[in-house]
Amino acid sequence: MEISYRRCRHKDLLPSVKLVMTAINKLRKQSGMPLFRRRIREVPPLYEHLLRTDPKTFYCAWKGERLVGFCGAAVRGMQWYLAFLFVHPNLQDKGIGRKLLEKAWVDKPKMTHSLSTFAYNMQAVGLYSRFGLSPLCTIPLMKFPGGKLPEYKSTGLSAKSNLSEYELNWIINFEGKIRGYSRAVEYDYWRNINGYRITLFKRGRKKVGYSVSHKSGMVAPAGAISNDDLNRVVYESLYNVTPTKGNSIILFCPTHNTALYHMLIKLGFRNDEMLLFMSDKQYTDFQRYLPATLALF
């Protein structure tokens, strides 16, 4: 039976999320990694947010009435970022992923293209390389193993989460400078979804950085005016986040930022996964920026 392709609809999201989990666990099993034991009952808000903001770059592949492939990209200004690309394990190596990527691809003068993927997924790295992307940086997913963090030491920064529109706009504009591209729609999402907290950090009256954290324990993204201040912002954010029961504090730390990486190691964080950032252009200042999730960077 031939494979058909069409734009993703909201009703396609739940089977797409289940497909993502099936494909990831197949890859993890082949790589000797522990499987994710999650029962998918509803669509995560992030999937709905990205489909809502970028309906023209989300596609599904179908074999008859069966969903067998899922792809989606977020376009923010002149940045194209691949959020998802997964094909059912039984139908991989048949060109489905390449076809989905072609359909979601957006190319304009000065447009950058990038993504993050599992470092052990060499098949995907090969595919993305053929589209002109290169591995630029490893990004460990770091996790605090549990218990209490070491005794808190003041950094001299103050934290504010009840933000004015002016303060939120400062964060959005500043992030655009250090990340390479701004994304106001993500801050609307983080501000309006339960469990997220956007925090502005100051030294006296001077704004020095920000972070986004979630009740699940995720701290990401974060940014600051200098590398030293990014360390302080992340440190403060770690002590301000309170994961719900059963969750750990986690974040993504680019290995280009050796100072931050070693600070986290000294605090007791451990590498849980190794990710690979791929792009056709280097545009992010990793000395001052901590990425968000795989799907958002």
CATH label of the domain that carries residue 38: 3.40.630.30
Domain count, the chain: 2
CB 282 within 8 A of CB 112: no
Residue 122 lies in a domain: no
Per-residue DSSP letters for 56-101?
GGEEEEEETTEEEEEEEEEEETTEEEEEEEEE-GGGTTSSHHHHHH
Say if 148 falls within a structural domain.
yes
| 59 has pLDDT over 80 | yes
Residue 123 in any domain: the answer is: no
Question: Could you give phi then psi for residue 272, rounded to 5 degrees?
Answer: -110, -35
With respect to residue 52, please indicate whether it lies within any of the assigned structural domains: yes
Q: How confident is the model at residue 246 (pLDDT cuts 50, 70, 90)?
A: confident
Domain that holds residue 232: 143-273+284-290
CATH number of the CATH domain containing 214: 3.40.630.90
The residue out of 87, 110, 133 marking a domain boundary is 110
The tens digit of pLDDT for each residue in 77-90 reads: 999 999 999 999 99
pLDDT band at 33 (very low <50, low <70, confident <90, very high): confident
What average pLDDT does the chain have? 95
The DSSP letter of residue 17 is H
Compute the average pLDDT of residues 254-276.
Answer: 95
Indicate the pairing of strand 112-118 with strand 79-87: parallel
| pLDDT tens column, 204-239 | 999 999 999 999 999 999 999 999 999 999 999 999
